[in-house]
Amino acid sequence: MKVGIIQFPGTNCEYDTQHAFASLGCDTEILWHKNDTISEGIDLVVVPGGFSYGDYLRSGAIAKMSPLMKALKLYADNGGKVLGICNGFQVLTEMGLLPGALKRNEGLHFISRHHHLKVISTNNEFLRLYTKNALLNIPIAHHDGNFYIDEQGLAELYANDQVLLKYTDENGEIDNPNGSVDSIAGICNKSKNVFGLMPHPERAMESLLGSDDGCRMLEGFLHA
Amino acid sequence: MKAIVNVFLKNGVLDSQGKAVLHALSGHGFGTVNDVRVGKQIIIEMDESDAAKAKEKVAHMCEELLANTVIEEYTIEIQA
Q: What is the DSSP letter of B63?
A: I
Residues paired with residue A168 on neighbouring β-strands, in sequence order:
A116, A174
Contact with chain B for residue A106, Cβ under 8 A: yes
- Parallel, antiparallel, or unpaired: how do β-strands A101-103 and A81-85 relate? unpaired
Residue A16, SS3 per DSSP: helix
How far is B8 from B39, CA to CA, in rounded Å? 5
Query: Which residues in chain B are contacts of A64 at CB distance < 8 A?
Result: 65
Cβ contact A147:A180 at 8 Å: yes
Query: What's the pLDDT score for residue A223?
Result: 75
- pLDDT tens for B7-58 read 999 999 999 999 999 999 999 999 899 999 999 999 999 999 999 999 999 9
Cβ contact A185:A167 at 8 Å: yes
CA-nearest of A214, A224, A194 to A80 is A194
CB under 8 Å to B46, separation ≥6 — which residues?
B1, B2, B3, B54, B57, B58
> pTM for this structure?
0.95
Residue boundaries of the structural domains of chain A: 2-219
Dihedral, CA atoms, A105, A106, A109, A111, nearest 10 degrees?
-50
Cβ contact A164:A117 at 8 Å: no
- pLDDT tens for A91-120 read 999 999 999 999 999 999 999 999 999 999
Contact B65 A65 (CB under 8 A): yes
| DSSP letters spanning A187-213 | EE-TTS-EEEESS-GGG-SBGGGTB-T
Contact B70 A179 (CB under 8 A): no
As a whole number, mean pLDDT of residues A66-95 equals: 98
Q: CA-nearest residue of chain B to A57?
A: B66
Query: What's the pLDDT score for residue A129?
Result: 96
Element (H, E) at B19: helix B16-27
- pLDDT tens for A164-220 read 999 999 999 999 999 999 999 999 999 999 999 999 999 999 999 999 999 999 999
CB pairs under 8 A between A and B: 35
Cβ contact A67:A35 at 8 Å: yes
- Catalytic residue set of A: 86, 200, 202
Cβ contact A12:A51 at 8 Å: yes
Best mutation target among A90, A148, A151 (most B Cβ atoms within 10 Å) is: A148
Cα atoms in the Cβ-side hemisphere of radius 13 Å centred on A2? 9
Query: Which residues in chain B are contacts of A57 at CB distance < 8 A?
Result: 65-66
Residue A86, SS3 per DSSP: coil
Question: Tell me, what's the ipTM?
Answer: 0.90
Q: A2-219: what fold?
A: Rossmann fold (3.40.50)
